[in-house]
């Protein structure tokens, strides 16, 4: 395990107000994604586990048509669409209106970097 992997394995980051979906079906409007101890875990609005896996087994990429605000995560062969910080913008997916949609993009970039630094394919 190199230095980067050790830092990632001990770093913990919680992304709150995450919109989590499977295809077009929403699973959680106010979910959470945690990256801790070399694992990524998706939690529903009720904080129950939806999915999780070691970072090295998670594939991550940006979803093009969302302008960088949504990531596609493949965990154990299942594809999830994840938008960190987007859960508080319910009903405003196409036009965020007031607020800070750039924060959503920044959070998506950070989540992608964390997954990539953990050895995931992207």
Percent of the chain with pLDDT over 70: 76
Percent of the chain with pLDDT over 90: 61
Confidence class for position 2, pLDDT limits 50, 70, 90: very low
Is 37 a residue whose pLDDT tops 60?
yes
Q: What's the pLDDT at 33?
A: 96
**What fold does the segment set 3-87+98-117 form as a domain?**
PH-domain like (2.30.29)
Paired sense of beta strands 78-83 and 12-22, if any? antiparallel
For residue range 52-62, list pLDDT tens digits in order: 999 999 999 99
Q: How many other C-beta atoms can be found within 10 angstroms of the C-beta atom of residue 23?
A: 9
Phi-psi group of 38: left, alpha or beta (phi > 0 → left; psi -120 to 50 → alpha; rest → beta)? left
């Amino acid at each position: 395990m190199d230095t980067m992997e050790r830092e990632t394995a001990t770093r913990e980051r919680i992304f709150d107000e995450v919109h989590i979906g499977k295809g077009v079906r929403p699973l959680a409007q106010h979910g959470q994604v945690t990256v801790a101890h070399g694992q990524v875990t998706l939690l529903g609005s009720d904080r129950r586990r939806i999915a999780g896996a070691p970072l090295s087994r998670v594939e991550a990429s940006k979803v093009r048509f969302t302008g960088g605000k949504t990531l596609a995560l493949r965990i154990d062969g299942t594809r999830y669409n994840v938008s960190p910080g987007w859960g508080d913008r319910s009903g405003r997916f196409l036009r965020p209106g007031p607020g800070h949609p750039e924060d959503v993009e920044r959070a998506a970039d950070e989540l992608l970097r964390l997954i990539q630094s953990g050895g995931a394919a992207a």
